[in-house]
A and B are shown apart, each in its own frame.
Chain A
Amino acid sequence: MKIWVPMDSAAKALGSDEVAEAIRIEAEKRGVEVELVRNGTRGMIWLEPLVEVETPEGRMAFGPMSPADVPALFEETHPKALGLTEELDWMKRQTRLTFARCGVTDPLSLAEYEANGGLAGLRRALDMSGEQIVDEVKLSGLRGRGGAGFPTGIKWDTVRMAHADRKYIVCNADEGDSGTFADRMIIEGDPFCLIEGMAIAGIGCGAVQGYVYLRSEYPDAIAVLTRAIEIAREVGVLGDSVLGSGKTFDMEVRTGAGAYVCGEETSLLNSLEGKRGVVRAKPPLPALEGAFGKPTVVNNVISLATVPVIFEKGAEHYAHFGLGRSKGTIPLQIAGNVRHGGLFETAFGMSLGQIVEDLGGGTASGRAVKAVQVGGPLGAYLSPDQFDTPFGYEEFDGQGALIGHAGLVVFDDTADMLGMARFAMEFCAVESCGKCTPCRIGAVRGVETLDRIAAGDAAAIPLLTDLCETMKDGSLCALGGFTPYPVMSALRLFPEEFGAVKEAAE
């Protein structure tokens, strides 16, 4: 009997270790031989711990499981049987390209990785020139999934063409945005995919060393990826001669140290070099002068983990998904006060309302949705009035919002929007690197101004608006520059909570 129990952090946080242990004990008691695989998560977090059992028809899902539900797994029927995993609505409706293997395979089995399409992309890339590799990425239309949406191929080309004795591929795994967990999920559930993507990037751009800057808040992801890199090195996927090609690429995990601003690429590079994680002014672009002063590709986890499938299936296959200039798929992360929270990979273009109401099933509390914050702590709040907006870079821009790393946090009608605006400023003040004044001082003034407004001083509202303009225009990076998004959107959507008379705010 083969049984899968996820070892993803979210599954563990909901008790999957205890369920796995109960299965071991129960199997022994019954004298049943069980092959227990600890897989990644399928992304249906509301069903975790989600246990799967192999049957002649396919993998059968059970969840959410508790240790008390385990004995029935060995019986004819089970009250928590959900049917075949692949037939579940949530699974069937997805286009899983980047996350194709996540939750399916044993994350640390390279054999299973290969049996499910892994390494095919790298093998193909090894037969191509650097220029061909970069062209393939350009053709796919892949844009940075970290938030800015910059075309990945163009970045790679700049590094490829730069002359230097050493170049780097740096993976930004400092996934600090609330509501996002796609990076964590793929690193824990399919780490070889990131390794393969980085190797392709390295070979395409002529870089021999990669670093994954991974936040310290993700200890499980650090452990899984570190182990996966060791395995890849042992069998020659990494090292002096990648898959026997004679080309070199190796990589290392670097642990962050709890500074949100290090998700900004230039702060990240400073941190990697062992400096304070302050933002660098651009130019020079990191592509020309990045890590240790050398040409460096800095890409997000999901961008890099999407590279293998682009090479395996071809750029055109990838590019035919999507909407307008937002090509391919995006892993939506549905979080917060929502009934069905989890990760759903789909082509761009679904409407916000469909995501929240249809996929997410509305709020967990059963109350009305009040607002959805998209794109992390620097993303705008959107109200149900904007639910028609299709999920795409340009479409969200048109609403004064951003999709960022595609995390969506749902709030019900009890949310205190003035409080959320204050939190945004407070967070910016705590996490500001201190390099530029609009962010460092502006955020502190923002908290004070919101406190005045909370105390009933409506005259402070224009001051807040003004301050937000200054932060937006004058900050060096997205931390100070985008904090006004949540603040101003909260004010615009819910002026009455800021004590403003409706027409004054409109």
Chain B
Amino acid sequence: MRHSNPTPDEIRALIDAELHREGPLLPILHAIQHAYDHVPEMALPLIAEALNLTRAEVHGVMSFYHDFRKAPAGRHVVKICRAEACQSMGANALSQAVLDKLGLDWGGTTADGSVTVEPVYCLGLCACAPAAMVDGKLIGRADAARLAAELEGAA
């Protein structure tokens, strides 16, 4: 498991690696989130300094996008598609069943930190709906039993 408390130098190294790009802010945020599963608060002033932006501007960008997390997610992340094609194949009942079983709301993490459930709006699997993703593994024609089995396998 990757550690989630980076040092300023570790963050600076990630920033520097993206600085050669045009419009490097999103690539920087992605790189940090990829490394630490979230974008820690302490990274914002470092990014601001490197890009000559205010901290508020960096925060404004980060908070605009659904992808970037302020805190790490659970050890496993389940994403369930909520969009129309998946709804036509019972996605609402599926997500309700999963959320109820884990006692969660969208975006919530179980008390033991093992599972986070997030909504996603289309994974491009609309012809084999409903679709879900468990820790990056795509699942078509998903049902609650299949998702539970995936989670068990991943545990």
Q: A: which residues have CB within 8 A of B?
A: 9-10, 12-14, 45-46, 48, 175-181, 183-185, 209, 216-221, 252, 254-260, 271-278, 292, 333-338, 341-343, 364, 373, 377, 407, 409-412, 415, 420, 423, 427, 431, 433
Say yes or no: A254-B27 contact (C-beta < 8 A), given A178-B121, A179-B85, A409-B88.
yes
Docked complex Cα distance between A253 and B88 (Å): 32
Cβ-defined contact, A336 with B64, below 8 A: no
Cβ-defined contact, A257 with B30, below 8 A: yes
Nearest CB in chain A to that of B142: its residue: A13
Cβ-defined contact, A259 with B123, below 8 A: no
Contacts of A45 in B (CB 8 A): 127-128
Cβ-defined contact, B123 with A179, below 8 A: no
- Among B95-103, B109-117, B133-141, the stretch that binds chain A is B133-141
* Among B25, B29, B64, B68, residue most surrounded by chain A Cβ atoms (within 10 Å): B64
Say yes or no: A180-B126 contact (C-beta < 8 A), given A259-B65, A415-B88.
yes
Q: Is B151 positioned at the interface, with any CB of A under 8 Å from its CB? A: no
Contacts of B141 in A (CB 8 A): 14
CB distance from B83 to the nearest CB of A (A): 4
Cβ-defined contact, A177 with B122, below 8 A: yes
Q: Is B14 positioned at the interface, with any CB of A under 8 Å from its CB? A: no
Q: Which of A271, A343, A431 contacts B26 (CB 8 A)?
A: A271
Cβ-defined contact, A257 with B140, below 8 A: no
Nearest CB in chain B to that of A48: its residue: B128
Cβ-defined contact, B66 with A336, below 8 A: no
Q: B: which residues have CB within 8 A of A?
A: 21-27, 29-30, 51, 60-61, 64-68, 83-89, 120-129, 131, 136, 138-141
Cβ-defined contact, B123 with A9, below 8 A: yes
Cβ-defined contact, B128 with A336, below 8 A: no
Nearest CB in chain A to that of B58: its residue: A274
Cβ-defined contact, A257 with B26, below 8 A: yes
Cβ-defined contact, A364 with B26, below 8 A: no
Contacts of A220 in B (CB 8 A): 138
Say yes or no: A260-B131 contact (C-beta < 8 A), given A254-B26, A255-B30, A333-B126.
no
List the 5 closest pairs (A to B, CB-CB), nearest first.
A274-B25, A341-B127, A13-B140, A178-B83, A257-B65
Contacts of A219 in B (CB 8 A): 136
Nearest CB in chain A to that of B140: its residue: A13
Contacts of A335 in B (CB 8 A): 85, 126-127, 129
Contacts of A184 in B (CB 8 A): 124
Contacts of B88 in A (CB 8 A): 336-337, 409-412, 415
Contacts of A12 in B (CB 8 A): 138
Say yes or no: A377-B26 contact (C-beta < 8 A), given A13-B131, A260-B121, A409-B88.
no
Say yes or no: A259-B66 contact (C-beta < 8 A), given A178-B86, A276-B61, A409-B85.
yes
Q: Which of B84, B89, B127 contacts A377 (CB 8 A)?
A: B84
User: Could you list 27 A-B pairs, sorted by A, with CB under 8 Å?
Assistant: A10-B127, A10-B128, A13-B125, A13-B138, A45-B127, A46-B128, A178-B126, A179-B83, A179-B85, A179-B122, A181-B126, A184-B124, A217-B120, A217-B121, A255-B30, A256-B67, A258-B67, A260-B121, A271-B26, A273-B23, A274-B24, A276-B60, A292-B23, A336-B88, A409-B88, A415-B88, A427-B83
Nearest CB in chain B to that of A272: its residue: B23
Contacts of A258 in B (CB 8 A): 65-67
CB distance from A73 to the nearest CB of B (A): 22
